[in-house]
């Protein structure tokens, strides 16, 4: 659409034939008399009877410069103002037709759109002039003339007449006849007014005054006078400025006789009490605060004093003249003595200055409790044997620091477990290791009066008991066989313990024999008709496994063979099994189990019951490729099958994986990389079970770390990591190198991993002596691998720098005695902190250490290490900051948060992480990731972090992930732990998220991001599936909970099943157990910022405490929905829809007006 064409049409349509309106110019005031103070001013007023069609105005103000002098324009109307003069212009052509005027001031207003959008009455400008004291003219005229006006309008111009001061000789008066009456306290920055009564020698009012000020010490003020009234009174106004203070002398001239007039004007502002109206302090101290007040007169010697004047608890306070407010007696939170007995003390404080001006403010002091006791609990495990009696103790009582008053299970299966007042967990049920869940995480909360509540996860493990095997048929059996036969029966023995197959033995091998599970006589038994007792034989069969056994005594009776129907089956057996001789014959199979009735007679088995188990086809070893740390496989992937003679193909299940219960998600078997033994179970309709085992090798995924930088002369390390243990070692990764000339580096082209899950190759960057050649890039690309499969990141980029890059703080190392990790004890052992610092250019680095708490002294802030002794400190948390600079690029700052605890004592049996190393032998946190070694598997990489029972958080290969500063032994966080951290570090408790129900909370830090200010990805294996209508919230210590902001650099996705890095869905989907985030370093979701702008620091590190929450009501904070998407005005490609709507409406009204005018 052509906007210019529309606008042009609208302007042309404003013809004189449509309107007959006026534009009127007047001065306010309309005349000025007796300009006694020299300066005077007037407003230029514009009025019109039609505002709809104004296009503008051109105006000039002509004046006689021999009488008055133009000073300035103020308050010029800005609407469509094109120009105005700030100095007088020469009137060379007498354009106003007045021969007395010789100068003018010009103004122009014009609307390009054809609509000068002003009101019917408008002030165009305020114009200030000065009357010349030596002028012989008693008056002068200011002439208004328009140079242009709106089409179709006429102008009405009302000139302004100005009368000068009285020039005659009044009667002589003495100074006592001139009286200045005013208050003696005027606020600065305000206008004071007073009147001067002018009287002659006879006491009569006079209007004769030459009001020029002969002298004054008002250096920064403006003193102006109005017109003398008929009664001789004159109004003076004075605009007081901040620098005015003290006594001012004025001298006037009455006619030809100077009269000295002295008046003291005191300029004084009352003080301002800047103290907050409410404050919170901790109990057991008398110190409150020093009242802060300001006064604009302080520089001129004003002095402030403070006093208590009112308040329900005035008598409980004292205040000095200088404003130091204290309690007379230190308040006790447990025994409040305030008027309301609610630990809220109220007093009114008065601030008074030297001249008596004052301000009052009521202050409320709230007393906070000081937690005078300390308790703590840490993650631990307890075991209970299967088959234990109900209400049996689950291991020893919970270990704590300090003695709690209460214990509570706040999360976990309270149907199965309870805990008593002494911390002893008991089982409310008996467990079957082979059938039940064998691991139960319980969150235990401990409390004590005047102590912060603490929580930790205690894992209850159901342990296997070696149970005796069982034999079908019980302890005794009676069996009949037909004369002439040897077969007796099949012995069915089993053991519920994984991997244990009972062995069978006989009490008498001279008479009986066992082949497999088939019991038979060594020789055929012959029916003895003469001595019936000879037909009975007894044998005891014993089944043994795992050091335990069970026996079955079998009595075998030999009976005569009588077959009247000649079907090969004894009549007695037929009648006993079928009740007749007609049901069975030599080829019938009544139970349909694939064994004929005759054969069942011969084997002496039950012909009416399918007791034949399914049969597995030959099972081969399976080799499958992983997709991540855990991979879901369909059961068909393993190529295992079994059939049953009666039921046909059998649906198989995986009964055990490495002797433990399998994990099935979405119908898929979840397996980690490595070699596994699967126990398959085939069950037919009759309940006959057959098991078989299969060896399965899951080949791990191998990935390069993403990228790095270095400079010539440095050795860089290219890292690879596996998704888990390899099924076979060594793992060999071959790669080629492309990019720079081969003379720029030396390297081998193979990485070999002999054990574990990580490997590396060293690349020496050779100095070629050439300067200013620009950055170079070499790329390592995987070609082929053995015992591992290539992942998504098959290449690794190394930038050889010529340009300068900022240094990096890759991680902090903390050591106290021989214990490593950021959890320290308040003992007499020095804490030594160092940093893994790296400069890609090889520059010399400067270290600047600082500590947020003055209690910790730092003897050498510029050393490469930071050492202090925490002995005796009552601090629970210590924040250390390091500023690292190469003297060239921007410095990088990182913070380290230490937690101070009492020493932890482990028992002699616990192995919390199940890695085969006892907790007492895994002291400290050797990799410094915030998880004590006894809580995480010793075989983990730096990009994985324990977050729960068998769950981790996984960062990209090459970056490092550690537990966030609020955590306690796991990246999964509780509100109680958050509150404890905030209290320990003197922060406001902002853990409650108004309008939301907070679910699982995770707190972690990612270091060594590829580019400072770049992005990185993280995958969280969730312990709790994502609920319906879930929203992702993020937390910062300074700002509390906010929405996780989504844009091009911050993305949420999730999935159901194994958390392998393949197919993901956008946002938070219901029932998902995997969460993937892409986060920007220094963005709105990075919580390491301190500037209060809601943004993180661009430092190559991201802090990201998050929670999966659901709305509990209408949220009061930032809006959002679904996956946590919110509008971000800083996001790329933003387009403001409000602006679009305004543009559309504007075009619509232009078209509509054009059509109206066209008619």
Torsional sign, CA 99, 103, 109, 110? positive
User: What kind and span of H or E run contains 11?
Assistant: helix 3-12
E strand spans, 787-887: 789-790, 795-800, 808-816, 819-820, 823-825, 831-838, 846-851, 865-868, 877-885
What does each C-alpha distance from 1081 to 591, 801, 1009, 1095 come to in angstroms? 71, 22, 8, 9
**CB-CB contact of 529 with 560 (8 Å):** yes
Q: What's the full length of the chain, in residues?
A: 1159
Dihedral (CA of 13, 15, 20, 25) sign: positive
pLDDT for position 229: 56
Give the sign of the dihedral formed by CA 981, CA 984, CA 985, CA 987.
positive
**Rounded CA gap, 239 and 190, in Å?**
6
Cβ-contact 968, 456 below 8 angstroms: yes
The pLDDT assigned to 789 comes to 96
Please state the rounded mean pLDDT for residues 609-620. Answer: 91
- SS3 of 600, please? helix
816/805 Cα distance (integer angstroms): 33
Q: What does the alpha-carbon distance between residue 973 and residue 455 come to, in Å, rounded to a whole number?
A: 10
The number of beta carbons lying within 10 Å of the beta carbon of residue 960 is 21
Q: In sequence order, what E strands does 687-787 have?
A: 689-699, 701-704, 707-710, 715-722, 731-738, 745-746, 750-753, 758-765, 776-786
Spatial distance between the Cα atoms of 770 and 802, rounded to a whole number of angstroms = 10
Strand 89-90 and strand 39-48: the pairing is: unpaired
Tokens 């301190």 label which residue?
1090
Candidates 554, 571, 572, 650; CA nearest to 610 is: 650
Instruction: Tell me what pLDDT residue 228 has.
Output: 53
Tokens of 954: 């996984």
Average pLDDT, the chain: 80
| 750 against 380, higher pLDDT | 750
What pLDDT does residue 535 have?
94
Per-residue confidence (pLDDT) for residue 224, from 0 to 100: 56
Look at 386 and 803; give whichever has higher pLDDT.
386
pLDDT computed for residue 219 by the predictor: 43
Bigger pLDDT: 707 vs 222: 707
Q: How many other C-beta atoms lie within 10 A of the C-beta of residue 906?
A: 18
Q: Please give the Cα distance from 594 to 582 (Å, whole number).
A: 20
| Helix/strand/coil for 888 | coil
Percent of the chain at pLDDT > 90 equals 32
DSSP states along 391-432: T-B-SSPPPEES--SEEEEEES-TTTEEE-TTS-EEESS---
DSSP-H helix ranges across 544-610: 571-578, 597-603
**Overall average pLDDT of the 1085-1098 stretch:** 79
Pairwise pLDDT comparison (265 vs 1014), residue with the higher score: 1014
> Exposure string (b/e) for 554-585, b if CB count within 10 Å is 16 or more?
bebebbebeeeeebbbbbebbeebbeeeeebb
Which of 515, 517, 524 has the alpha carbon at shortest distance from 481?
524
Distance CA 1103, CA 1035 (A): 10
The arithmetic mean of pLDDT across residues 228-255, rounded, is: 48
pLDDT of residue 795: 93
Bridge partner residues of 709 (DSSP): 799
State the number of CA atoms in the 13 A half-sphere of 384 facing the CB.
29
| Distance in angstroms (rounded) separating the CA atoms of residues 552 and 472 | 9
Among 919, 917, 921, 881, residue whose Cα is nearest residue 898: 881
Asked whether 417 and 428 are in contact (CB, 8 A), the reply is: yes
Look at 23-37, 694-708, 996-1010 and tell me which has the smallest mean pLDDT: 23-37
Are the C-beta atoms of 36 and 209 separated by less than 8 Å?
yes
| Cβ atoms < 10 Å from Cβ of 994 | 11
Dihedrals phi, psi of 701, to nearest 5 degrees: -90, 140
CA angle 770, 774, 780 (to 5 degrees): 100
> What is the predicted pLDDT for the residue at 1092?
63
Sequence-distant (6+) residues with CB within 8 A of 1101 are: 809, 894, 1005, 1006, 1007, 1009, 1081, 1088
Other C-beta atoms closer than 10 Å to the C-beta of 913 total 22
Give the pLDDT band (50/70/90) at residue 1125.
very low
Token digits for 237? 């106004």
Residue 106 CB neighbours (<10 A): 16
Check whether 260 has a pLDDT greater than 50: no
Collapse the DSSP code of 897 into the 3-class scheme (helix H, G, I; strand E, B; otherwise coil) and give the result: strand
On whether the CB atoms of residues 635 and 655 are closer than 8 A, the answer is no
pLDDT tens, residue by residue, 1000-1015: 899 999 988 878 888 9
Range in 260-264, 452-456, 644-648, 1015-1019 with the lowest mean pLDDT: 260-264
* Residue 14 φ then ψ, to 5°: -85, 75
pLDDT of residue 3: 31
- In a 13 Å sphere around the CA of 863, the CA atoms on its Cβ side amount to 11
Separation of alpha carbons 540 and 1059, rounded Å: 54
pLDDT above 70: percentage of residues in the chain:
81
pLDDT at 190: 44
The answer to whether the CB of 705 falls within 8 A of the CB of 751 is: no
Lowest mean pLDDT among 212-226, 415-429, 992-1006, 1068-1082: 212-226
pLDDT band (50, 70, 90) for residue 354: confident
Inter-residue contact 833 to 860 (CB < 8 Å)? no
Beta bridge partners of 42: 127
1139 DSSP 8-state letter: H
User: Looking at residue 19, what is its pLDDT?
Assistant: 44
Q: What tens digit of pLDDT does each residue of 180-199 get?
A: 333 334 444 444 444 445 44
The reported pLDDT for the residue numbered 1128 is 36
Dist CA 1156 CA 13 (whole Å) = 10
Burial class (CB in 10 A: 0-12, 13-18, 19+), 904: middle
Per-residue pLDDT, 713: 87
Mapped onto helix, strand or coil, the DSSP state of residue 207 is coil
Angstrom distance (rounded) from CA 720 to CA 731: 11
Contact call for residues 1037 and 1096 (beta carbons, < 8 A):
no
pLDDT in tens, 386-421: 999 999 999 999 988 889 999 999 999 999 999 999
Neighbours of 1055 (CB within 10 A): 20
The predicted-structure confidence for 731-767, as pLDDT tens digits, reads as follows 999 999 998 777 888 999 999 999 998 999 999 998 8
Residue 153 has pLDDT above 50, yes or no: yes
pLDDT of residue 347: 92
Within 732-885, residue ranges assigned H as helices are: none
Give the range among 82-86, 976-980, 1026-1030, 1123-1127 with minimum mean pLDDT.
Answer: 1123-1127
**Cα gap 256→94, rounded to integer Å:** 38
Query: With 60 as the cut, is the pLDDT of residue 1138 above it?
Result: no
The answer to whether the beta carbons of residues 763 and 715 sit under 8 Å apart is yes
The pLDDT tens digits of the residues spanning 550-608 come to 999 999 999 998 888 888 888 888 888 899 988 888 889 898 888 898 888 888 888 99
CA gap 538, 506 in Å, rounded: 11
The residue that leads in pLDDT, 242 or 494, is 494
Burial class for 74, CB neighbours closer than 10 Å (0-12, 13-18, 19+): exposed
**Between these two residues, 678 and 918, which has the higher pLDDT value?**
678
- Helical pair 1137-1158 and 3-12, crossing angle rounded to 10 deg: 40
Task: Give the pLDDT score at 266.
Answer: 55
Q: Cα(63)–Cα(144) distance, rounded to whole angstroms?
A: 9
DSSP state letters, 190-202: SEEEEEEEEB-TT
Query: Per residue in 856-895, pLDDT tens?
Result: 665 566 678 888 888 877 777 788 888 888 888 678 888 8
Confidence check: pLDDT of 12 > 70: no
* 673 pLDDT more than 90: yes
Instruction: Identify which has the larger pLDDT, 76 or 130.
Output: 76
* Cα–Cα distance measured from residue 37 to residue 601, given in angstroms and rounded to the nearest whole number: 139
Q: Decide: 481 and 558 in contact? Cβ < 8 Å.
A: yes
How confident is the model over 270-323, as pLDDT tens digits? 788 877 788 888 888 899 988 888 887 665 667 889 999 988 999 999 999 989
**What is the predicted pLDDT for the residue at 1000?**
86
């Amino acid at each position: 659409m052509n906007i210019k064409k529309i606008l042009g049409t609208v302007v042309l349509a404003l013809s004189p034939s449509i309107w007959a309106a006026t534009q009127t110019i007047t001065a306010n005031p309309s005349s000025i008399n007796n300009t006694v103070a020299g300066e005077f001013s007037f407003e230029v007023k514009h009025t019109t009877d039609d505002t709809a069609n104004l296009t503008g105005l051109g105006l000039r103000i002509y004046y006689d410069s021999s009488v008055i002098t133009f000073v300035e324009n103020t308050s010029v109307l800005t609407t469509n103002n094109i120009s105005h003069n700030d100095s007088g212009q020469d009137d060379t052509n007498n354009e106003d037709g007045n021969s007395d005027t010789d100068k003018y001031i010009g103004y122009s207003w014009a609307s390009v759109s054809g609509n000068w959008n002003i009101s019917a009455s408008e002030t165009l400008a305020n114009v200030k002039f000065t009357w010349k004291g030596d002028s012989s003219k008693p008056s002068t005229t200011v002439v208004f003339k328009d140079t242009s006006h709106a089409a179709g309008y006429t102008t009405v111009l009302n000139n302004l007449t100005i009368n000068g001061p009285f020039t005659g000789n009044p009667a002589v008066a003495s100074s006592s006849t001139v009286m200045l009456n005013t208050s003696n306290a005027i606020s600065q920055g305000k206008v004071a007014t007073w009147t001067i009564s002018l009287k002659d020698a006879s006491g009569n009012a006079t209007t004769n005054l030459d009001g020029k000020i002969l002298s004054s010490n008002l250096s920064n003020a403006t003193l102006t006078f109005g017109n003398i009234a008929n009664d001789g009174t004159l109004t003076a106004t004075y605009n007081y400025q901040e620098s005015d203070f003290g006594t001012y002398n004025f001298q006037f001239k009455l006619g030809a006789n100077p009269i000295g007039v002295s008046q003291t004007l005191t300029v004084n502002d009352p003080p301002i009490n800047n103290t907050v109206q409410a404050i919170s302090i901790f109990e057991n101290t008398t110190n409150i605060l020093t009242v802060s007040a300001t006064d604009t007169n302080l520089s001129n010697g004003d002095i402030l004093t403070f006093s208590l004047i009112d308040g329900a608890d005035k008598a409980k306070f004292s205040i000095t003249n200088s404003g130091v407010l204290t309690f007379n007696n230190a308040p006790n939170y447990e025994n409040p003595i305030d008027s309301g007995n609610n630990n809220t003390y109220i007093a009114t404080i008065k601030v008074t200055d030297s001249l008596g001006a004052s301000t009052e403010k009521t202050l409320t002091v709230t007393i906070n409790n000081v937690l005078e006791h300390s308790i703590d609990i840490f993650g631990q495990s307890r075991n209970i044997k299967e088959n234990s009696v109900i209400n049996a103790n689950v291991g020893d009582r919970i270990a704590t620091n300090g003695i709690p008053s209460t214990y509570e299970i706040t999360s976990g299966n309270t149907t199965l477990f309870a805990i008593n007042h002494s911390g002893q967990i008991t089982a409310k049920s008996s467990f079957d290791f082979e059938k039940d869940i064998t691991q139960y995480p319980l969150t235990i909360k401990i409390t004590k009066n005047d102590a912060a509540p603490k929580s930790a996860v205690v894992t209850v493990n159901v342990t296997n008991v070696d149970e005796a095997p069982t034999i079908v048929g019980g302890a005794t059996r009676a069996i009949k066989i037909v004369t002439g036969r040897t077969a007796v029966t099949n012995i069915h023995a089993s053991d519920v313990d994984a991997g244990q197959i009972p062995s069978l033995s006989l009490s008498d091998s001279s008479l009986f024999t066992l082949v497999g599970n088939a019991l038979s006589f060594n020789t055929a038994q012959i029916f003895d008709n003469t001595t019936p007792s000879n037909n009975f034989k007894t044998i005891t069969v014993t089944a043994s496994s795992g050091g335990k056994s069970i026996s079955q005594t079998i009595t075998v009776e030999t009976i005569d063979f009588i077959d009247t129907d000649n079907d090969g089956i004894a009549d007695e057996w037929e009648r006993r099994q079928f009740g007749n001789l007609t049901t069975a014959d030599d080829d019938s199979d009544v139970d349909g189990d694939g064994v004929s009735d005759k054969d069942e007679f011969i084997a002496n088995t039950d012909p009416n019951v399918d007791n034949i188990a399914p049969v597995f086809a030959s099972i081969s070893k399976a080799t499958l490729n992983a997709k991540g740390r855990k991979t879901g496989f369909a059961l068909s992937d393993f190529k295992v099958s079994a059939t049953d003679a009666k039921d046909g193909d059998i649906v198989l299940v995986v009964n055990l994986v490495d002797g433990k219960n399998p994990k099935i998600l979405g119908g898929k078997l979840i397996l980690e990389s490595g070699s596994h033994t699967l126990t398959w179970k085939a069950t037919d309709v009759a309940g006959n079970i057959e098991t078989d085992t299969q060896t399965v090798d899951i080949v791990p995924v191998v990935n390069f770390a993403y990228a790095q930088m270095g400079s010539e002369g440095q050795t860089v390390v290219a890292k690879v990591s596996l998704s888990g243990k390899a099924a076979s070692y060594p793992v060999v990764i071959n790669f080629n190198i492309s990019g720079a000339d081969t003379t720029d580096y030396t390297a081998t082209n193979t990485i070999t991993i002999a054990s574990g899950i990580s490997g590396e190759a060293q690349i020496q960057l050779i100095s070629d002596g050439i300067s200013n050649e620009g950055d170079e890039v070499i790329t390592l690309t995987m070609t082929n691998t053995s015992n591992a499969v290539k992942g998504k990141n098959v290449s690794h980029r190394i930038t050889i720098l010529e340009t300068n890059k900022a240094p990096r703080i890759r991680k902090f190392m903390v050591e106290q005695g021989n214990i490593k990790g950021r959890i320290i004890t308040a003992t007499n052992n020095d804490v030594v902190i160092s940093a893994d610092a790296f400069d890609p250019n090889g520059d010399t680095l400067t270290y600047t250490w600082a500590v947020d708490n003055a209690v910790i002294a730092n003897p050498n802030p510029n050393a490469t290490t930071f050492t202090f002794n925490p002995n005796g400190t009552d601090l629970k948390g210590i924040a250390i900051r390091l500023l690292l600079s190469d003297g060239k690029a921007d410095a990088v700052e990182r913070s380290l948060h230490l937690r101070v605890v009492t020493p932890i004592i482990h028992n002699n049996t616990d192995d919390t992480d199940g890695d085969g190393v006892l907790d007492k032998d895994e002291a400290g946190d050797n990799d410094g990731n915030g998880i004590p070694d006894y809580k995480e598997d010793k075989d983990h990489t730096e990009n994985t972090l324990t977050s729960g029972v068998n769950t981790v958080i996984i960062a990209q290969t090459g970056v490092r992930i550690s537990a966030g500063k609020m955590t306690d032994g796991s990246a999964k966080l509780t509100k109680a732990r958050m509150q404890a951290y905030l209290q320990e570090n003197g922060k406001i408790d902002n853990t409650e998220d108004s309008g939301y129900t907070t679910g699982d909370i995770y707190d972690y830090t990612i270091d060594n991001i590829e580019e400072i200010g770049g992005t990185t990805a993280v995958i969280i294996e969730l312990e709790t599936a994502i609920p319906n209508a879930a929203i992702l919230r993020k937390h910062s210590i300074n700002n509390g909970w906010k929405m996780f902001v989504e844009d091009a650099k911050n993305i949420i996705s999730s999935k159901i099943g194994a958390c392998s890095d393949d197919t993901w869905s956008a946002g938070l989907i219901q029932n998902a157990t995997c969460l993937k985030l892409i986060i920007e370093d220094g963005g709105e979701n990075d919580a390491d910022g301190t500037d209060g702008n809601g943004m993180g620091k661009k430092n190559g590190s991201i802090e990201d405490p998050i929670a999966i929450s659901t709305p509990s009501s209408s949220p009061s904070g930032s809006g959002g929905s679904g996956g946590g998407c919110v509008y971000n005005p800083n996001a790329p490609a933003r387009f403001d829809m409000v602006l679009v709507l305004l543009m559309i409406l504007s075009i619509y009204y232009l078209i509509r007006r054009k059509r109206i005018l066209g008619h």
